[in-house]
Amino acid sequence: MLMFSPSTLTRWTTGLAVLAFSATAVADAEVRIVHAAPFAPSIEQTGVSVTANDTEILSNFVFGEFTEPLTLPAGDYSIDVIPTGAAEPAISASLTLESGVSYTVLAIGDGVNQELMLWPLVDDADTPAGDHLNIRVVHAASFAADPADTEVSIRSAGGTIINDLVGVPYFAQSGFFQIPAGEYDLKVASNDGQTNLIDPLPVDLPAGIDLTVIAIGDGNNRLNRPGFTGDSII
């Protein structure tokens, strides 16, 4: 699945997907939250609420969704991710947010192959050159228990490896790197490039943005919801 805020393009392949969104400069601490934890066999069953210092900030938040940046005061936070209808959190973590910093916080894992946890990332890209953009690739697809079995490569439609991204395991991220603006047809493939695991639609990427692309899914469940059916393209 390839998502751009606010518009959306979608493709499901082998129970895996890709999320993508851009970030902007901030004056206060900002947090974008991503639900990348496919811990149930249907979208509805992955619903959670998220609390920060016991105050609910999200409800009925399901796998594959991400928020717009949420502005929060700098400081220490206790974050709980609570499955809808449950009394106890599935994930509990502590975060320290600094003023003027933008964060992307992912809920990851499926509870079977990989433990459920939060993964905070700092959106710390430098300003790209005039005709370039910043892109960061994040592997949050928990489709195997052994990290070696989760390794993937990031390629163009012609099979060219992007930025030496081969042998990328679960719970790894590239950091931001620059690419020229233009149309891209990126694939998440097996290490040898013979199999496309995630095959989103081509997309035009504009200059000047900071883009995060996240591979998600457990490789088994096709988590469908209205508008997201099988391998359809929305």
Express each pLDDT in 87-133 by its tens digit. Answer: 999 999 999 999 999 999 999 999 999 999 999 999 999 999 999 99
Alpha-carbon distance of 80 to 106, in angstroms, equals 13
**Which pair of structure tokens corresponds to residue 73?**
């005061």
Q: Over the stretch 52-87, which tens digit does the pLDDT of each residue have?
A: 999 999 999 999 999 999 999 999 999 999 999 999
Task: State the pTM of this model.
Answer: 0.85
**Which pair of structure tokens corresponds to residue 184?**
């891209």
Amino acid at 28: D
**What pLDDT band is residue 28 in, cutting at 50, 70 and 90?**
confident
Residue pair 141/213 in contact by the 8 Å Cβ criterion: no
Q: Over the stretch 154-186, which tens digit does the pLDDT of each residue have?
A: 999 999 999 999 999 999 999 999 999 999 999
Side-chain-facing half-sphere of 134: CA atoms under 13 Å: 16
Residue pair 73/98 in contact by the 8 Å Cβ criterion: no
**What pLDDT band is residue 231 in, cutting at 50, 70 and 90?**
very low
Amino acid at 148: A
Q: Over the stretch 190-205, which tens digit does the pLDDT of each residue have?
A: 999 999 999 999 999 9
pLDDT for residue 221 is more than 80:
no
pLDDT for residue 30 is more than 50:
yes
Side-chain-facing half-sphere of 88: CA atoms under 13 Å: 1
**Which pair of structure tokens corresponds to residue 74?**
């700098």
Residue range 141-151: average pLDDT?
96
**What pLDDT band is residue 10 in, cutting at 50, 70 and 90?**
very low
Residue range 135-154: average pLDDT?
97
Three-state SS for 44? helix
Question: Which residue shows structure tokens 């992307």?
Answer: 104
Alpha-carbon distance of 140 to 36, in angstroms, equals 7
- The reply to whether omega before 6 is within 30° of 0 (cis) is yes
pLDDT for residue 9 is more than 80:
no
